[in-house]
Amino acid sequence: MKNNYESVANWSFLWWLFKLFGFPFFLPWALYNFIGIINQKRQRTNLQGKVVMITGASSGLGESLAHLFYSCGCKIILVSRRRKELEKVRNDIMNTHQTVTTHPPIVLTLDLTEINSLKSEVNKVLDIYGKIDILINNAGISYRGEIIDTKVDIDIKVMLINYFAQIALTKAVIPSMIKQNNGHVVYISSVQGKIGIPYRSAYAASKHALQAWCDVCRAEMAEKNVAITVISPGYIKTSLSLNALTGTGQVYGVMDEATEKGYTPEFVADQVLKAVLKKEKDLVVATFTPKVAILLRTVFPSIYFWIMQKRAKKLKKNR
């Protein structure tokens, strides 16, 4: 009986503390989130009929983005080099979202590194829909290797895919957005676009370049009503590391442990959608450690450099 009485007394005391200190914080927080959910549902309805072009849509995050934006009533253009895989994604979308009223996704087989042909390919979409409301630059390639063993050709190839192809496609699309005085371009970058880590030199460099270009583009496009959003995810559980290039140009072919434990593509796709609805300028989708590393690189760079040196030495032993 005594234990029961003490238990009740403890819970009564905790409830009293919550009423005294918890309610003043909890109620505004709950109200803020409730309003946010209502606004998000309303904003999602505003996406109905929007034309959304998604690169790298044949698998992984691109595929999840295609499903999600289609479920919002968007007209989707699926872009990738692999037509067979794109057709599969298209069929999966049609079979999964049968209750959604929108146009069947368009499949556009396109090698983004063929930069001089991008303008004509974009015109094909414009001939069909007359506009592109949202461009999501998701296509990319990863890299694993040591700087001293990496051929310059590999640096150039990674930069071509992750940087030059992205901005070339954007330059092909943006004039139509400016003409309609409305548009949104989204870039799937990486945490490594903000911090460089050992054995990722080519990849980090390409993402750093993309980040800088987007910062300038955002400023220049503001008065033209074209929004620029950069999403910097941490690890995502996709085949990115499997398809990564090594310093010799071979395929890495290994699912990294960190990648295996990364966010699901569906989770990251949901974060991208929220960022689009809010017209976020720059969003990091990562766990606590990468966010701390970004902060360290900015505020205490010497500590960050020391940590990366230790990391490089440790990874060298395990290679």
In the chain, the DSSP E strands lie at: 51-55, 75-80, 106-109, 134-137, 183-188, 226-233, 282-285
Distance CA 62, CA 103 (A): 18
- Residues 6 or more apart whose CB falls under 8 angstroms from that of 99 comprise none
Give the CB-side neighbour count of residue 94, counting CA atoms within 13 A: 12
Question: Of 163, 203, 263, 304, which one is the catalytic site residue?
Answer: 203
* Whether residue 203 lies in the annotated active site: yes
The H-or-E segment that residue 230 falls in is: strand 226-233
Q: What is the CA radius of gyration of the chain?
A: 23
Per the structure block, which two tokens stand in for 287? 């766990």
For residues 162 and 206, the answer to whether their CB atoms sit within 8 Å is yes
3-state secondary structure of 51: strand
Q: Which residues are catalytic?
A: 203
